[in-house]
Amino acid sequence: MLLEKTKHLKKDFTATGYVVNETKTKILVIFHNKLQKWLPAGGHIEPNELPHEAAIREVFEETGIQANILSDDHDMGLLGVVDCQIPRPYSVLYQIIPASQKDLEHIHVDFVYVLQAQEATCSINKSEVKKAQWMNYNEILACDCFDAVKGFAKIYLQK
């Protein structure tokens, strides 16, 4: 229903990186200046950039944290001579983005990846991010964030 109802809207392709610490007890989240909510780092995929590369880049640009994609057990065993397998997203979301002063209502097709990094102090990009912080399961449930962030924490984090 949603796909049919919104097929006329412009689609932007984005990537999000849910960064978990090594023990999978915390998620790295940012407080987004424009949205005024806690969420994982992410943004638009640039021309000639693969979705997983965009997720890694956005995490680094917004938090200063160098993260890696968690391995995927679904390897097709390709040799990489004429084709290869790129990392699969954890999920692909279809999100309605409301109209703003800069843009009309549109769609984000968001490639969501699970990344892992050592828990470290963040170096934030203040033009986009007010704060960045590692949060545990209870902190995520208590913070002002989107339902998708809480849902990820419920499924993925060790409690």
**Encoding tokens for residue 40?**
């994982």
Distance of CA 5 to the CA centre of its chain: 25
> Residue 125: what pLDDT?
81
Q: How many CB atoms lie within 10 A of CB 14?
A: 22
Position 71 pLDDT exceeds 80: no
Q: Record the pTM.
A: 0.92
pLDDT digits (tens, 9 = 90+) for 19-59: 999 999 999 999 988 889 999 999 999 999 999 999 999 99
Decide: 42 and 148 in contact? Cβ < 8 Å: no
2-156, superfamily in CATH?
Nucleoside Triphosphate Pyrophosphohydrolase (3.90.79.10)
Residue 127: pLDDT band (50, 70, 90) is confident
pLDDT digits (tens, 9 = 90+) for 134-150: 999 999 999 999 999 99
pLDDT digits (tens, 9 = 90+) for 86-106: 899 999 999 999 998 989 999
> Residue 128: what pLDDT?
80
For residue 40, give the nearest of 115, 109, 107, 105 by alpha carbon.
115
> Residue 55: what pLDDT?
98
Sequence spans of domains, the chain: 2-156
